[in-house]
Structure 1
Amino acid sequence: MKIENPVLTGFHADPSMIRVGDTYYLANSTFEWFPGVRLHESKDLAHWSPLPSPLSRRSQLDMRGNASSGGVWAPDLSYADGRFWLVYADVKVVNGAFKDCVNYLVTADDIRGPWSEPVRLNGVGFDASLFHDADGRKYLVQQTWDFREYHHPFNGITLTEFDVDTMRLKPETERTIWEGTDVKLVEGPHLYRINDLYYLFCAEGGTVWTHQEVVARSATLDAHSFEGSPLNPFLTNFDTPRSYLQKQGHGALVSTPGGEWYYASLCARPWHHANESVTDPRGWCTLGRETSIQKVDWTEDGWPYIVGGHGGERVVDAPADAIEDADAQVSRDVHDDFAAPELGDGWCTLRVPFDGRMGHVGDGALTLRGQGSLCNLFDLSLVARRWQAFGFDASVGVRFDPVNYRQMAGLTNYYNDLCWSWAFVTWDERRGCRVIEVAQNDFNDYTSFLRDDAVPVPDDVDIVWLRTRVRTQTYTYDYSFDGEHWHGLGVELDAKVLSDDYVNQRYGGFFTGAFVGLAAVDLSGYDAEAQFVDFDYRELTD
């Protein structure tokens, strides 16, 4: 059996991987998207099934007003003392000198929950993980943020003892255990005790083309006691620009029951326009940062290395003792008739959970109550799911009766509040009827493409069907008045605008990926409602 990378496609960044018995678990960052932290399980490392998210309540995570790409950074999942432990950060400031954040801890006896209310830990830095030592003591290991302009902002890896009896850290024990290499930007630490040595895995170089994973080790947890591996970088694609996988690094190590070793990390798959170099720019990653798994072996003197070289491999041998679960993750295609009284797996909202203020679901429709624009960081009625393939079609039916141009409802392709587009139904006061328009927000340069050519909606049409067709480099929107006969809206958009790499050119929070979603807006403040029916997402076959 083979592991084909990426194992989780489309915006599954910063994987934290553990094994409990014969089952592996992955936790991924979700940033400003709700529910918080994406969980999957597997018996073979090749096939992964989604689990309920551990942060499903506003009391655990309230990101209202958070900047895009703030929120949940690099969660850490661990298992000790008969329960699961999850550490996560809520980052409130993304750009500039400061990275205001609070690190929290929740626990559960069962991976499926219920998960506890959060314990506040500290705000020293993000990417915190919890290390359970063999003697029963526990430590928080984290990136350390330095806002002073005369210091490097990534100020080493800090270790602080955690008191289980009080469920609090002991600040007096805080110490820097490693400063990283000269590549800088050391973050994402995970600590392991293997053969009486402590091994520290860290990401460096930023989560871009220079990204890498490095390893250090020590016989103690004393300050400044760790030494870097002579084989560093452990994992990187900085010098493999033509590899299928790019940006690898930032992840976690796991051993199998039979004693094999694997490493899960984030990765990305760039594409290029035909007139672009494959090295500069290296490409556009519309699917965001995904999850790959590489096999690990050890040198005679105890240093880990990636089998096949530090650039990693697209296809990796699965563990010899894997329990094959080929039924998991067979298809990512989705048809949602919204019959259930709650949103199905894979649907996300921004910053807060889906609630009555946004709308309701069930009996064959998702009803969204119009709130702010798609630029809004506070009140927004948007329900969306990840792009998980470079080519797909997604469609939905919309019932909507706007009475002014400030009321809009439709189908969106969305990266963040700065970069998005949509096809939507609105009111045209000049013609005195509903129309279909296509618009794009490109770093707050807003363009209405159809204007005087917006498509009138006949009075007797109950449902307007909207469809997007994503084709790697470009995507388009279509409409139908019967759900069978489709017509193009004549607008072809560059998909790179919805990529990490495009957003990174002008904004420091570029950590998520493209989503396709359903949205209702009412800037007049009258709560106009739109009904969405029969959402369909179909990936193209190779």
Structure 2
Amino acid sequence: MPLVKNPILPGFNPDPSILRVGKDYYIATSTFEWYPGVQIHHSTDLANWTLLTRPLTRQSQLDMRGDPDSCGVWAPCLTHDGDKFWLVYTDVKRKDGSFKDAHNYIAWADKIDGGEWSDPVYVNSSGFDPSLFHDPDSGKKYFVNMLWDHRRRPLLFAGIAVQEWNAKTRKLVGERKNVYQGTDLQLAEAPHVYKRNGWYYMLIAEGGTGYEHACTFARSKDIWGPYETHPDKYIVTSKDHPRAALQRAGHGDIVETEDGRTYLVHLTGRPTTQARRCVLGRETAIQECYWGEDDWLYVKNGPVPSLWVDLPGKRDESKYWEEKRYTFEDGLHRDFQWLRTPETERIFNVKDGKLTLTGREAIGSWFEQALVARRQEHFSYDAETVIDFSPTDERQFAGLTAYYCRYNFFYLTVTAHSDGQRELLIMSSEASWPIGNLNTPYVPYVQIPNEGKVKLALTIRGNQLQFYYAVLGSGDEELKKMGPVFDASIVSDECGGHQQHGSFTGAFVAGEERAGCLC
């Protein structure tokens, strides 16, 4: 089998849930506050993946207006019971502090793409990152979830619970039982259950989402426990190997190929700079596994995750490195997302080959901002856009941003002075991290003619970001530098404005507009 380099889903693609149906593999990943909800990629060889769909597309399924940064859709679980696809997900409305408002839902569909996913059924709000296990022998379905106990300090994580879920009544039934508390690494969450050779196996995440992260494995002869922990405890982790290429390894799921090989997908991070900042966020990697004679699962060459893995397919690297040019003749390209709102007509429309943003609230709003973005998937890249914008008010902005969250972004914007003269300025929260106060103007503004389209550009080379601009139709259309070289590593998980284990997304490059006055 050919060697393929990790990660298989680069950029912000955390918390993978993997599924095989026939010859087709699917991975669902978290999208947090980015809309539409849940990314599902497709592959036939585990090496080459294509973004297939984002199933949570309408207000009856998901409305995240008001969800803070790194809240929203957490840790989807994608399964198939031989008849339907099932999707379990959490919509987190609050995460900081002792209380968490984490609402769990189940949706389903006959077809994963091309068909309509159901409106979700509310399950409970007892924890986050749940899964749905379909017992192949009894035919019963079990809702498996971590328990969040706001009274237990400082840990708050109370163990993994199992309860039957009735697909006909669409309700939890019977007793809920706390079946497994994890190991001394603590923070047990994100459970998945499997059945093999008469054993119920449970894979959980422990150690938080930072550099202590791990996948812990346990098993029992009964779904209700007791569960014994794997003799090695953690089947994949980088926590004791700070020089490993893949860090933050944890939160995984298992899949078997048609010919009986076993693989584990897991989230990972690739830190840069001496500060170990993951500008690409948490990505999805894959590891080859094997079952030992003791009926325990082991990661090949583990528990430290391998950078290179034997997979059934050979990856087409040309697609990974190809230049992307986006036009809007056929609508908004699937690579793009926006923040929180299902009412897209209020923030953008695509017509006559153009993307038009309708200015709403300021960049960093948790409710309604006109921002359309795509993920950063490479450590170095160039981005350009042409905007047609004639502001008359100093409260009106439109431009290009390297964006992580309301606390961390760099924003080159076309705006106007109070006298109506059009100008360029850069806004940034860099110098005030982690407080998140906006520095504006961060560098002296540049006056530009009041008429004419403007090309805005940025380059990122590792941890260095440089903005550029050109006024089209001016006779001098060569891109000129705007502002100093900024520290691009600020746009990362580690600088997301939260405490440790609190920032979960990744860097985006985006077009954004603010109206300033909506009267």
TM over 0.5: yes
CA separation in 2, counterparts of 1:101 and 1:505? 18
Correspondence for 1:496: 489
CA deviations on 1:82-134 (whole Å, 9 max, x unpaired) are: 11000000011110001111111111111103111111111111010000002
Asked if the contact 1:47–1:328 (Cα under 8 Å) also holds between the matched residues in 2, the reply is no
Q: Which residue of 2 aligns with 1:110?
A: 111
Separation in 1 of the partners of 2:132 and 2:322?
Answer: 33
Residue aligning to 2:412: 423
Partner in structure 2 of residue 447 of structure 1: 439
Provide the residue aligned with 1:537 in structure 2: none
* Letter in structure 2 aligned against 1:169: L
Alignment pair present for 1:179 and 2:181 = yes
Q: Distance in 1 between matches of 2:498 and 2:367?
A: 25
**Paired residues of 1:3 and 1:45 also in contact (CA < 8 A):** no
Q: How does 1:253-402 map to 2 (within 5 A)?
A: 253-272=254-273, 276=274, 281=275, 283-319=276-312, 326=316, 329-331=319-321, 333-340=323-330, 342-353=331-342, 355-402=344-391
CA gap 1:243/1:422 in 2 versus in 1, 3 angstroms = same
Deviation of the 1:449 alpha carbon:
4.2
Distance, in Å, in 1 between the alignment partners of 2:147 and 2:123 is 14
8 A contact 1:89–1:104 mirrored in 2: yes
Contact 2:162 2:224 in 1 (8 A): no
Taking the aligned partners of 2:316 and 2:368, their CA distance within structure 1 comes to 41
| Aligned ranges 1:192-207 → 2 under 5 Å | 192-207=194-209
| Residue pair 1:473, 1:496 contacting (<8 A) in 2 also | yes
- The code of the aligned residue for 1:436 comes to L
Q: Distance in 1 between matches of 2:425 and 2:102?
A: 39
2:101 counterpart of 1:100: yes
Q: In angstroms, what is the RMSD of aligned CA positions?
A: 1.7
- 2:461 paired with 1:471: yes
Quote how far apart the aligned CAs of 1:458 are.
1.5
Higher deviation after alignment, 148-157 or 291-300: 148-157
Q: Which amino acid aligns with 1:146?
A: D
Stretches of structure 1 lacking an aligned partner (at least 5 in a row): 527-542
- Work out the CA distance in 1 between the residues paired with 2:151 and 2:327: 52
Q: Indicate which of 128, 151, 156 corresponds to 1:153.
A: 156
Tell me which residue corresponds to 1:30: 31
Q: Which residue of 2 aligns with 1:480?
A: 470
How many Å separate the matches in 2 of 1:520 and 1:158? 45
Contact 2:340–2:368 under 8 Å retained in 1: no
* Equivalent residue, structure 1, for 2:395: 406
The aligned residue for residue 533 of structure 1 is: none
1:48–1:328 contact (8 Å) kept in structure 2: no
Q: Provide the aligned length of Structure 1 versus Structure 2.
A: 509
1:457 corresponds to which letter in structure 2? Answer: I
Contact conserved, 2:408 with 2:495, CA < 8 A, in 1? no
Unaligned runs of 5+ in 2: none
Match of 2:449 among 447, 454, 458: 458
Question: Residues 450, 428 of structure 1: CA spacing in aligned structure 2 closer, same or farther, 3 A cutoff?
Answer: farther
SS in 1 for 2:88: strand
1:241 Cα deviation after fit = 0.9
Alpha-carbon separation, structure 2, partners of 1:257 and 1:508: 37
* Residue in structure 2 matching 1:138, options 123, 141, 157: 141
Give the Cα separation in 1 of the matches to 2:318 and 2:465: 29
Correspondence 1:129 to 2:121? no
Normalising by structure 2, report the TM-score: 0.95
- 8 Å Cα contact 2:142/2:164 also seen in 1: yes
Asked whether the 8 Å contact 2:75–2:90 carries over to 1, the reply is yes
Distance 1:86 1:128 in 2: 10
One-letter amino acid of the structure 1 residue matched with residue 447 of structure 2:
P
Residues of 1 paired with 2:328 and 2:484: CA distance? 29
> What SS class does the counterpart of residue 496 from structure 2 fall into?
helix
User: Counterpart of 2:90 in 1: which secondary structure?
Assistant: strand
Query: Is the CA contact (8 Å cut-off) linking 2:408 and 2:497 kept in structure 1?
Result: no
Moved more, 480-489 or 499-508: 499-508
**How far 1:52 sits from its partner (Å)?**
1.5
Cα contact 2:383–2:458 (8 A) shared by 1? yes
SS in 1 for 2:240: coil
Partners of 1:450 and 1:329 lie apart in 2 by: 37
Paired letter, 1:477: F
Task: Answer yes or no: is the 8 Å Cα contact 1:2–1:46 preserved in 2.
Answer: no
CA contact (8 A) 1:231 1:305 kept: no
* Superposed displacement of residue 327, structure 1: 9.2
Q: Give me the whole-angstrom Cα distance separating, in 1, the residues matched to 2:229 and 2:120.
A: 34
Cα distance in 2, alignment partners of residues 108 and 368 from structure 1: 32
* Distance in 1 separating the partners of 2:442 and 2:45: 50
2:133/2:194 contact within 8 Å kept = yes
2:260 aligned partner, one-letter code = G
Distance 1:151 1:500, change over 3 A: closer
